[in-house]
Structure 1
Amino acid sequence: MLEIIKSRKNEEIKLAAKLVDSASFRREKGMFVVEGARLCRDAALSNIEIVSAYFTGTAQTKYNDYITQIIQECRSYRLIEEHVADALSATKHNQGVFCVCRIPEQHHSMMDMKALGTYIALEQIQDPANLGSVLRTAEALGVSGVLFLGDCCDIYSPKALRSSMGAIFRLPFYIEKDTSFAIKELKRKTFAVFAAVPSEQAQSVLETDFSKPTVMLIGNEGNGLSQTAIDACDACVTIPMMGRAESLNAASSAAILMWEMMRGRIDMQLEESV
């Protein structure tokens, strides 16, 4: 019979709860918490190391298929009471399923990137919901990977994980603090590097050639791209807008730009196949 954790003061629960609340603690311990039956299952099937899993009796019945897959991939698992689940949740209404996971020791290196495909690069993104949404859209559209430049928000925060819908476990991503170095390296690898800006002087994304391997840079929610990034890119592109809004948030901009980038490559492939 499974051991049942009945107290929020249990040491495992206290550690997991702190991982949910603190980005610095996640970095210190090299672990993060995944919440939700499907998201935990996605982590289990994506070669993410699961240190421990916790689920309520209600969840065990309701999400039995998911939990069966989860416990096959984790070191240990425990039943928890409902009020203990509330202590681990970052949402108002939780499903009662949680996994403590190990942050991968080594992310993909920019040095290993090949000049193939289409990438999106996010500079100084601070909203975890925007970050997660970009990852989800990138995976859906078949983008090759995502670069995080400068000091972006924690990609393992509960909100980023939830918004990504598991894309963060499957989509290659690259972290580089030095934006200038990243752009120089991308150019050295013969990528076409574009800066997305809300400017009428920039070329329209509708008129931009995405036939070459491409990286599109998008700035943060308040200030956009740094001038350093803009100056280092090959060209600036903009999304033409007929309405009154002067700009879009990072996730909306990224979705439109990625769609147009991928549409251009699809059109090119169709022409080549004729």
Structure 2
Amino acid sequence: MLEIIKSRKNEEIKLAAKLVDSASFRREKGMFVVEGARLCRDAALSNVEIISAYFTEAAQTKYNDYITQIIQECRSYRLIEEHVADALSATKHNQGVFCVCRIPEQHHSMMDMKASGTYIALEQIQDPANLGSVLRTAEALGVSGVLFLGDCCDIYSPKALRASMGAIFRLPFYIEKDTSFAMKELKRKAFAVFAAVPSEQAQSILETDFSKPTVMLIGNEGNGLSKIAINACDACVTIPMMGRAESLNAASSAAILMWEMMRGRIDVQLEESV
């Protein structure tokens, strides 16, 4: 019979709840919380270390297959009452399944990037939902990886994790605070580096050659890319728009840019599969 946690004041629950609410606490403790049956299962199937899992009796019945996979990969697991699950949830209607995971001590370094493939780079992105959506789309389109430049929002925030739909556990990503160093490293690896900007003077993505190893930079939702990033790029590119909107949000821009970057490769794969 599994132990049931009945109080929100339980020390494990208080710790997990604070991890959900605070980015600084996540960094301090080196841990984060994953919510949802499928997302927790995705974490279990990746190389993420699961410290503990919590689920309600209703969830154990409804998501038994997922929970079976989760508990095989975690150190400990507990049943929790519904009101305790509410204390851990970042959503209005939770599934009653949560995992406390270890943040990897070392993320992928740019030095480990192969000088091949197609990457998207996000500079100073502040909206976790945008960040997670970019990861999800990048994985779907077969992008090689994602770079986070400067001070981006917390990639382990509940919103980012949820929006990524598990892509954060599968897609290679690289973190570099120093944009200037990052640009020099990309040049050293002979990438074609493009800056995405909302400008009629920029080159249309429809007229851009993406056949070489490529990195596309997308900037902050409000301020765009830094001058350091733009000046270090090979060219500025833009998405031609027929309507009255002057710009798109970061996630929408990234989706269109990644599709155009990957279109030739996708066409080849489709032809080969016929």
Please state which band the TM-score falls in when normalised by the shorter chain: over 0.9
Q: How far has the Cα of 1:60 moved from its partner?
A: 0.3
SS at match of 2:152: coil
* Structure 1 unmatched runs, 5+: none
Tell me if structure 2 keeps the 8 A contact 1:210–1:265: no
Q: How far has the Cα of 1:265 moved from its partner?
A: 3.4
SS at match of 1:215: strand
SS at match of 2:125: coil
Looking at structure 1, the residues matched to 114 and 68 of structure 2 have their Cα atoms a distance apart, in angstroms, of: 38
Q: How far has the Cα of 1:269 moved from its partner?
A: 7.4
Q: 1:206 to 1:60 in 2, by over 3 A?
A: same
The correspondence of residues 86-125 of structure 1 with structure 2, limited to 5 A, is 86-125=86-125
Q: 1:80 to 1:267 in 2, by over 3 A?
A: closer
**Per-residue displacement from partner, 1:119-169 (whole Å, max 9, x unpaired)?**
000000000000000000000000000000000000000000000000000
**Per-residue displacement from partner, 1:158-184 (whole Å, max 9, x unpaired)?**
000000000000000000001111011
**Per-residue displacement from partner, 1:27-74 (whole Å, max 9, x unpaired)?**
000000000000000000012100000000000000000000000000
User: What is the alpha-carbon root mean square deviation over aligned residues?
Assistant: 1.6
* Residue 196 of structure 1: aligned partner: 196
Q: 1:181 to 1:51 in 2, by over 3 A?
A: same
Q: 1:273 to 1:93 in 2, by over 3 A?
A: closer
Q: How far has the Cα of 1:273 moved from its partner?
A: 12
Q: 1:9 to 1:120 in 2, by over 3 A?
A: same
**Per-residue displacement from partner, 1:67-90 (whole Å, max 9, x unpaired)?**
000000000000000000000000
Looking at structure 1, the residues matched to 244 and 110 of structure 2 have their Cα atoms a distance apart, in angstroms, of: 39
SS at match of 1:78: strand
Q: How many residue pairs are counted as aligned between the two chains?
A: 274
* Structure 2 unmatched runs, 5+: none
Q: 1:273 to 1:86 in 2, by over 3 A?
A: closer
* Residue 82 of structure 2: aligned partner: 82
Looking at structure 1, the residues matched to 123 and 218 of structure 2 have their Cα atoms a distance apart, in angstroms, of: 6
Looking at structure 2, the residues matched to 62 and 124 of structure 1 have their Cα atoms a distance apart, in angstroms, of: 40
Q: How far has the Cα of 1:116 moved from its partner?
A: 0.9
SS at match of 1:9: coil
Q: 1:81 to 1:266 in 2, by over 3 A?
A: closer
Indicate yes or no: 2:32 matched with 1:32: yes
Q: How far has the Cα of 1:271 moved from its partner?
A: 9.8
Looking at structure 1, the residues matched to 271 and 192 of structure 2 have their Cα atoms a distance apart, in angstroms, of: 21
Q: 1:15 to 1:207 in 2, by over 3 A?
A: same
Q: 1:43 to 1:272 in 2, by over 3 A?
A: closer
Tell me if structure 2 keeps the 8 A contact 1:209–1:264: no
SS at match of 2:93: coil
* Residue 68 of structure 2: aligned partner: 68
Tell me if structure 2 keeps the 8 A contact 1:211–1:268: no
Tell me if structure 2 keeps the 8 A contact 1:56–1:81: yes
Tell me if structure 2 keeps the 8 A contact 1:55–1:98: yes
**Per-residue displacement from partner, 1:89-134 (whole Å, max 9, x unpaired)?**
0000000000000001111110011111100000000000000000
**Per-residue displacement from partner, 1:165-219 (whole Å, max 9, x unpaired)?**
0000000000000111101100110000000000000000000000100000000
* Residue 217 of structure 2: aligned partner: 217
Looking at structure 2, the residues matched to 75 and 268 of structure 1 have their Cα atoms a distance apart, in angstroms, of: 44
Looking at structure 1, the residues matched to 248 and 43 of structure 2 have their Cα atoms a distance apart, in angstroms, of: 31
SS at match of 1:54: strand
Q: How far has the Cα of 1:220 moved from its partner?
A: 1.1
TM-score (norm 1): 0.97
Q: How far has the Cα of 1:266 moved from its partner?
A: 3.9
Looking at structure 2, the residues matched to 68 and 103 of structure 1 have their Cα atoms a distance apart, in angstroms, of: 23
Q: How far has the Cα of 1:6 moved from its partner?
A: 0.2
Looking at structure 1, the residues matched to 84 and 196 of structure 2 have their Cα atoms a distance apart, in angstroms, of: 45
Tell me if structure 2 keeps the 8 A contact 1:195–1:216: yes
Q: 1:271 to 1:233 in 2, by over 3 A?
A: farther
Q: How far has the Cα of 1:227 moved from its partner?
A: 1.3
Q: How far has the Cα of 1:268 moved from its partner?
A: 6.8
SS at match of 1:65: helix
Q: How far has the Cα of 1:264 moved from its partner?
A: 3.0
- Identity between Structure 1 and Structure 2 (%): 95
